[in-house]
Amino acid sequence: MAMDFSDMLASSIHDIKNSLSLISTTLAEMIGSAENTFADPRQANLLQHEVQRVNHNLVQLLSLYKLGDEGLTVDIDEHNIEDLFIECLANNQTVCQALGVDLSYDCDPMLCGYFDLEMVRSVVDSTIGNARRYADKRIQLSALEEDGYLVIRIEDDGQGFPPELLLRSDTNDQLQVTNPRASGRTRLGLLFAEKISGLHRSGERKGHIEVKNGCSLPGGCFELWLP
């Protein structure tokens, strides 16, 4: 059976992702076992953090490939936001604690929204992973309803987004800023989040993302707006 280059690339990424998942699981078991001792436990947790971050990037690349190949389906249902936040905290709390970063959330326990749970959880997990790189001591998740949208916010207390990102008028421009390596930001996460948000529609309204600085915390603030 003939296979084009993009299919081969996607297959290879999928294989690498599976290997990284095995490494991540093994690392978590090693770190969590009382029988193992590390000269510097923080280094082990940093290694786990980087493995998780690379794995998130590969998941995003695969999702973008499926989106371009029209193979990505959306499963929208009603979900409780606090349940989503509790799950995301469970996925990220150990590494945050190891890095000395306080990860918390604040939202109405009864707040619900309509979205694809796997996609939105992936966006939130990925954004937390990026925020860990720039946070000083705090990352906070929050959510609220505004102008008929569910707004999920991930903030940190670091230096914030660079001015060239904030000065752009829309996200497409933000993603096309020249020399992205200069800031150490590939913008893959923003591209992924923008594409995922755009898959959520209600009538004439469409999901989108926003980035800003200095909301309730002084650093970067990422917002996912879902109709």
Reply yes or no on whether the pLDDT at 2 is more than 70: no
- How confident is the model at residue 165, as a pLDDT? 76
SS3 73: coil
Element (H, E) at 11: helix 5-32
- How confident is the model at residue 171, as a pLDDT? 53
pTM score? 0.79
Kindly report, residue by residue over 128-138, the tens digit of the pLDDT: 988 988 999 99
Kindly report, residue by residue over 122-161, the tens digit of the pLDDT: 899 989 988 988 999 999 999 999 999 999 999 999 999 8
- How confident is the model at residue 169, as a pLDDT? 43
Reply yes or no on whether the pLDDT at 216 is more than 90: yes
Kindly report, residue by residue over 170-214, the tens digit of the pLDDT: 555 555 554 544 455 557 788 889 889 999 999 989 999 999 999
Query: Does 181 or 11 have the greater pLDDT score?
Result: 11
Reply yes or no on whether the pLDDT at 84 is more than 60: yes
SS3 220: strand
Residue 55 CB neighbours (<10 A): 21
User: In this structure, is the dihedral angle defined by the CA atoms of residues 88, 93, 99 and 104, taken in order, positive or negative?
Assistant: positive
What is the rounded distance in angstroms from the CA atom of residue 6 to the CA atom of residue 41?
40
Find the mean pLDDT for residues 56-64. Answer: 82
